[in-house]
Amino acid sequence: MFQALRETGALFLWNEIMSNIKKAAILGASGYTGVEVIRLLQHHPKLEISALTGHSRAGERAGDVFANTAHLGLPDLQDWQEVNWPDIDVAFACLPHGASQETIAEILPHVPTVVDLSADFRLRDPELYSKVYGRPHNFPDILEEAVYGLSEWARESLREAKLIACPGCFPTCTLLPLLPLLKDELIETSSLPISAITGVTGAGRKASLGLTYTELAEGAHAYGVGSHRHAPEIDQIIERVTGQKTNVSLTPHLVPMNRGMITTTVVKLKEPNTYNELRESLKATYQDSKFITVLPEGDIPQTRHVRGSNRCHMNVFRDRTAGTAIVIAVIDNLTKGSSGQAIQNYNLSQGWEENLGLDIIGFFP
């Protein structure tokens, strides 16, 4: 389309279109969430990639880091200090926990919007952050400014936000189906055991013996048992929505697949006759949502149906134990659980349609 406009001499329209294009930088572009932002931004009509950074891959071509991007004409990777930040409209920070806060503190005065995909600005209490992540939070004043970007529950607060803290993948997959039920006071907060399964990309791209093929294939295992870092994040948002403190029990499991996440939570009903209201609560909450589907009764959510998309599928099931129900949700951990939600949040911060650039169907098969 752009080439046709140039060739027909429609310069006014061409200039108007280009003046509305915002420039994006991707920090940590050599990781999985970084390349996922790259993939998704190819579909975005109002964002172009102007800078890519990578600490250990600076100076390399993007196509050499990820061969699937070789034809896109992307800028080479560089150190983040080399970027001309006043020229950038939005920075997507796909950096490791700990490293993100330092870099963001440096660039935040120069960039209109920063979307952080790490955990560094999710927890509002710096002491809790230090306890959970084993390092101090050095910028509590900036922490106060961050908007927690669980998109469907933060639309108003995201408008014109300067620093957006994207939720973790487990909190996203867990909170989206639970928050309506908690808000409508249909389930108890005192007992929320969450069992979760995730693909290997959730661990990042770093080299590790435990993530090699022979260590992962033909098996599955739990990890972070009783102490996973995302549990306090889930607690924080439930307390914010309900006003009640809780301590969820989150048990994640790693399985040999690249993408995908499923969470299963057994919930206690406040009243035995409220089971039918659970599905109605979900349907009413998300009836106008562009990315959330409450499946027909009896349909079980499957990760293969959301793979590569920004969608979340969910459903509620009767349990054989009286007074309880089973809530299941699935997302792609790299998309709705990270990079896709980051772009959705930026869309909302600009007052754009939140599905801009994200109306892509999942991979199948």
CA neighbor of 24 nearest in space, from 355, 253, 250, 347: 347
Task: Say whether both 31 and 119 belong to one domain.
Answer: yes
Measuring CA to CA, how many Å separate 242 from each of 183, 188, 310, 322? 6, 11, 26, 24
Q: Is residue 151 part of a domain?
A: no
More confidently predicted of 215 and 67:
67
Measuring CA to CA, how many Å separate 134 from each of 120, 137, 171, 256? 12, 10, 20, 28
Q: Is residue 109 part of a domain?
A: yes
State pLDDT tens for residues 336-357. Answer: 999 999 999 999 999 999 999 9
Q: Could you tell me if 357 and 343 are in contact, meaning their C-beta atoms sit under 8 angstroms apart?
A: yes
- Report the distance separating Cα 31 and Cα 46, nearest Å: 24
Task: Say whether both 85 and 192 belong to one domain.
Answer: no
Asked whether residue 17 carries a pLDDT value surpassing 80, the answer given is no
Which element (helix H / strand E) includes 26?
Answer: strand 22-27
Domain boundary among 111, 145, 179: 145
State pLDDT tens for residues 227-256. Answer: 999 999 999 999 999 999 999 999 999 999
Is 312 known to be catalytic?
no
Task: Say whether both 127 and 263 belong to one domain.
Answer: no
Q: Looking at residue 68, which CATH number applies to its domain?
A: 3.40.50.720
Q: Could you tell me if 283 and 294 are in contact, meaning their C-beta atoms sit under 8 angstroms apart?
A: yes
Peptide bond into 365 cis (omega under 30): yes
| Lateral strand order in the sheet of 324-331 | 221-222, 249-254, 193-198, 261-268, 324-331, 312-318, 292-294
SS3 content of the chain, % helix, strand, coil (to 5): 40, 20, 40
Task: Say whether both 96 and 187 belong to one domain.
Answer: no
Task: Say whether both 141 and 180 belong to one domain.
Answer: no
- Report the distance separating Cα 20 and Cα 112, nearest Å: 15
- 29-40 in b/e form (b: 16+ CB < 10 A) is bbbbbbbbbbbb
Task: Say whether both 51 and 140 belong to one domain.
Answer: yes
What's at 331, amino acid-wise?
I
Residue 113, both tokens: 């919007």
Task: Say whether both 271 and 328 belong to one domain.
Answer: yes
Task: Quickly count helices (H) and strands (E) in the chain.
Answer: 13, 14
pLDDT on residue 214:
85
Asked whether residue 200 carries a pLDDT value surpassing 80, the answer given is yes
pLDDT on residue 6:
55
Q: Could you tell me if 83 and 92 are in contact, meaning their C-beta atoms sit under 8 angstroms apart?
A: no
Task: Say whether both 16 and 111 belong to one domain.
Answer: yes
Q: Among residues 94, 166, 169, 173, which one is catalytic? A: 169
**Which DSSP string corresponds to 301-343?**
P-GGGTTTSS-EEEEEEE-SSTTEEEEEEEE-TTIIIIIHHHH
End-to-end CA distance of the chain: 31
State pLDDT tens for residues 48-80. Answer: 999 999 988 888 999 999 999 999 999 999 999
State pLDDT tens for residues 105-140. Answer: 999 999 999 999 999 999 999 999 999 999 999 999
Q: What is the mean pLDDT of residues 198-225?
A: 86
Q: Is residue 347 part of a domain?
A: no
Q: Looking at residue 259, which CATH number applies to its domain?
A: 3.30.360.10
Q: Is residue 351 part of a domain?
A: no
Name the residue range of residue 71's domain.
2-145
Which residues, 6+ apart, have CB-to-CB distance to 280 below 8 Å? none
User: Which pLDDT band, with edges at 50, 70 and 90, does 10 fall under?
Assistant: low
- Report the distance separating Cα 275 and Cα 324, nearest Å: 8
3-state SS, residue 87: helix
Task: Say whether both 180 and 57 belong to one domain.
Answer: no
Domain count, the chain: 2
Task: Say whether both 205 and 315 belong to one domain.
Answer: yes
- Report the distance separating Cα 219 and Cα 252, nearest Å: 14
- Report the distance separating Cα 50 and Cα 138, nearest Å: 29
Q: Is residue 159 part of a domain?
A: no
pLDDT on residue 210:
79
Q: Could you tell me if 94 and 29 are in contact, meaning their C-beta atoms sit under 8 angstroms apart?
A: yes
| Phi, psi at 346, each rounded to 5° | -65, -40
Q: Could you tell me if 171 and 150 are in contact, meaning their C-beta atoms sit under 8 angstroms apart?
A: yes
Task: Say whether both 302 and 205 belong to one domain.
Answer: yes
Task: Say whether both 328 and 179 belong to one domain.
Answer: yes
